[in-house]
Structure 1
Amino acid sequence: MLKELNPSDRDYYDPKIEILENGYTPYYDEILGMVQEDLPEHVSNEVFSILNLYRAIHSSYSELDDVEKSDFKETDIRFKGFDMNEEYDHYSFAKYVVEGYLIYQDLQNKSGYNTHRNTLYKYGQMLQVWNELDKKTNLSKDEIKRILSQ
């Protein structure tokens, strides 16, 4: 795919494609040397849980009437992200699935996803309340407030 996007770099990509197509394992390091360690599964699971929570909040908020919606600021219900320095794995994976892979494009945030402060504790508290509500996807105004108040 990169070869097609960058035709001027064919000489770079062709040997790498040949290595992979032919299974030349002694040369895999040439290609995979730039690949990071695997993302821990618990990180991706946490990110998916948090994004699913925010999806439930967003969809429930959209079903509220205008009077009920007036109890919230739009920033209250927006997925804000993670601290890029302290929660980098969470930050980078969330950014990828929201913007790159587009699974959660409905949660895109024009302000970015770097909160500049730790968020995992708060999100954990929010998830705990959502779990108590059996991970409902159709939340009432009061349930949304209860989750966000954590």
Structure 2
Amino acid sequence: MSLDGEAVHDALHQIEPCMGLADEAPMENTVTKLTDVERALLINQLSILKLLAPRDARYYDEKIEILRDGYEFFYDDVVQNLDTVSTEDCKFVIHVLDMYRWFDTYIRKHSKDKEVTTHHWARFAGFSGNDETALMGFTRFLIKTQGKFAEQIPNESRTDGFNSHAPVREVYERMLAVYEAIDDKWETGLKRENVLSVLAAAKRRG
């Protein structure tokens, strides 16, 4: 069955309102091609946003389906007003979780070291849901969706879903500066004096 020009125009006219296009303006898609890598990155980003806004799950599922199945006609609808989590921020979260894996390893081996085990910053606190939303969302994505850093799963309820309820990025940055300077941190560097020096950096300012 073939469609004449008028029928095609009518079909597109019915689709336009669903895409938020103004009747007065001609339909023009600015994004018509995405590489497989770009599609995968956008799917990951939308999955993070879905975790942050579970009430909007159907909305994000629709966008994910468009990208997964390659419906190029709707690519504009997916990418407009889409925030991104930078590679730098993603690496920062991974480095923080790696540092807390190091803490957890020490605590498992030295469970009687009360100075460390009871220290406020010895357990991962998450990120601020209000001020560091993207970092919190990427944390949830890594742990809950991708299954990475599984040792943090027990902390989910303790931290209200990895929500610190206060900005913590600067604290983690100070701790990481000390942590990343430790030589052979997973072997000879995994010792009490190093752990305490990283924890002390949490309170250090300036």
Shorter-normalised TM range: 0.7 to 0.9
- Compared CA separation, residues 90 and 20, structure 1 to 2 (3 A): closer
State how 1:1-150 maps to structure 2 within 5 Å: 21=69, 23-29=70-76, 32=78, 36-64=82-110, 66=112, 69-71=113-115, 72-73=117-118, 76-108=121-153, 109=155, 110-111=157-158, 112=160, 113-134=162-183, 136-138=185-187, 139-150=190-201
Which structure is richer in relative contact order (CA contacts within 8 A, separation 6 or more)? 1
**1:46-94 alpha-carbon deviations (Å, 9 max, x no partner):** 000100000111112212263xx22231754211111111111111101
8 Å CA contact retained: 1:57, 1:144: yes
- 1:44 Cα deviation after fit: 0.2
Question: How many angstroms apart in 1 are the aligned matches of 2:68 and 2:121?
Answer: 47
Deviation >3 Å, runs of 4+: 33-36
Unpaired segments of 5 or more residues in structure 1? 1-12
Question: How many angstroms apart in 1 are the aligned matches of 2:184 and 2:164?
Answer: 25
Question: Residue type matched to 1:140 in 2?
Answer: K
Question: How many angstroms apart in 1 are the aligned matches of 2:140 and 2:119?
Answer: 20
Question: How many angstroms apart in 2 are the aligned matches of 1:20 and 1:62?
Answer: 41
Question: How many angstroms apart in 1 are the aligned matches of 2:130 and 2:184?
Answer: 30
Aligned length: 133
Unpaired segments of 5 or more residues in structure 2? 1-61, 202-206
- Compared CA separation, residues 123 and 99, structure 1 to 2 (3 A): same
- 1:124 Cα deviation after fit: 0.4
8 Å CA contact retained: 1:64, 1:141: no
Question: Residue type matched to 2:73 in 1?
Answer: P
Question: Residue type matched to 2:130 in 1?
Answer: N
- Compared CA separation, residues 99 and 34, structure 1 to 2 (3 A): farther
Identity of aligned residues (%): 21
The Cα RMSD (Å) is 2.8
Question: How many angstroms apart in 2 are the aligned matches of 1:65 and 1:43?
Answer: 32
Question: Residue type matched to 1:49 in 2?
Answer: H
Greater CA radius of gyration, 1 or 2? 2
**What TM-score do you get using the length of structure 2 for normalisation?**
0.56
- 1:33 Cα deviation after fit: 5.7
**What TM-score do you get using the length of structure 1 for normalisation?**
0.74
- 1:101 Cα deviation after fit: 1.6
